[in-house]
Amino acid sequence: MQIFGVDIGGSGIKGAPVDLDKGDLAQERCKVLTPHPATPEGVADGVKEVIDHFGWTGPVGLTFPGVIQDGATILTAANVDKSWIGTDARTLFSEKLGGLPVTLVNDADAAGLAEMRFGAGRGRKGTVIVLTFGTGIGSAVFTDGVLVANTELGHVELNGHDAEKKASSKAKEDGDLTWEHWARRVEKYLAHLEMLFSPELFIIGGGVSRKADKFLPHIKGIKAEIVPAQLQNNAGIVGAAMRAEERASAE
């Protein structure tokens, strides 16, 4: 079965049809730049461009980098325009896409769902935390495979700052940090989360997961197992399609 997934990020909007039997993209993904400012109308136009590229006419799953209430209303918008807050995003996207059925899910939750079903978290019990490092830091927390939605742990306070301001991939790039220096920041962040949640496993996702060998060996002193995401930067697309499939099956 194929469902379309779109991952909306602070820097790019990417999507493709997803083969949900394999947990992989059915075609090479299409990516457009996230507009700046990333307003609702501008982002919706970007999503439409990605979907139109494939001529898709079925259900669509969309990730969003913020807290989503009741699968529709945006409550936070840390890395996109603040005008998203209070927006009925599901209606906005569905209207922009000519009435296609739209399912919304937090971006890191989507990546986590994909990793737990098809990737590094498959079959794992206990507490698992999936972290996506990019423009910010997204989080997905699972207990015995069950998602605790909208955790947004990139915004926990660390040394007086939002953790993502110091430990995201963007922070590494903006500060021109070496992998080792950045790994020390990530280690402090993981130690803080470990103190709060005592997870058995951390899964490190986002684009940086492709270069796990550059930084994971520098992270010491964490009791939990730490592994790179297996679906890497496609996890959000796959997870968005998974959620859309669930909704389509329930209706």
pLDDT confidence tier of residue 1, bands split at 50, 70 and 90 = confident
**Residue 207 domain-assigned?**
yes
To the question of pTM greater than 0.75 for the whole model, the response is yes
Residue 30 has pLDDT above 90, yes or no: yes
Bridge pairing between strands 12-19 and 2-8:
antiparallel
pLDDT confidence tier of residue 89, bands split at 50, 70 and 90 = very high
Task: Looking at the chain, list the stretches that DSSP marks H as alpha helix, in order from N- to C-terminal side.
Answer: 40-54, 89-96, 107-118, 163-167, 169-174, 179-197, 212-215, 235-250
Q: Are 69 and 75 in contact (CB under 8 A)?
A: yes
**Residue 54 domain-assigned?**
yes
Task: Looking at 74-215, list the stretches that DSSP marks H as alpha helix, in order from N- to C-terminal side.
Answer: 89-96, 107-118, 163-167, 169-174, 179-197, 212-215
Q: What is the spatial distance between Cα 63 and Cα 204, in angstroms, rounded to a whole number? A: 18
Of 114, 10, 111, 99, nearest to 48 (Cα)? 99
193: CB partners within 8 A, 6+ apart = 129, 153, 156, 199, 202
Please count the structural domains in the chain. Answer: 2
Q: Does one domain contain both 55 and 27?
A: yes
Residue 147 has pLDDT above 80, yes or no: yes
How confident is the prediction for the chain on average, in pLDDT? 96
Q: Are 117 and 128 in contact (CB under 8 A)?
A: no
Give the burial class of 28: count Cβ atoms within 10 A of its Cβ; 0-12 exposed, 13-18 middle, 19 or more buried: exposed
Q: What angle do CA 115, 120, 122 make, to 5 degrees?
A: 75
Maximum C-alpha span of the chain: 52
**CB neighbours of residue 122 within 10 Å:** 12
Domain hosting 59: range is 2-106+234-250
pLDDT confidence tier of residue 248, bands split at 50, 70 and 90 = confident
Q: Does one domain contain both 191 and 222?
A: yes
Place of tokens 């709060």: 196
Residue 6 has pLDDT above 80, yes or no: yes
CATH number at residue 19: 3.30.420.40
Place of tokens 């899910």: 105
Q: Does one domain contain both 35 and 58?
A: yes
- Would you state the pLDDT for residue 251? 74
pLDDT confidence tier of residue 233, bands split at 50, 70 and 90 = confident
Share of the chain above pLDDT 70, in %: 100
Q: Does one domain contain both 144 and 61?
A: no
Q: Does one domain contain both 136 and 82?
A: no
Q: Does one domain contain both 49 and 144?
A: no
H-run or E-run covering 157: strand 157-158
Give the burial class of 243: count Cβ atoms within 10 A of its Cβ; 0-12 exposed, 13-18 middle, 19 or more buried: buried
Q: What is the spatial distance between Cα 73 and Cα 83, in angstroms, rounded to a whole number? A: 12
H-run or E-run covering 162: strand 161-162
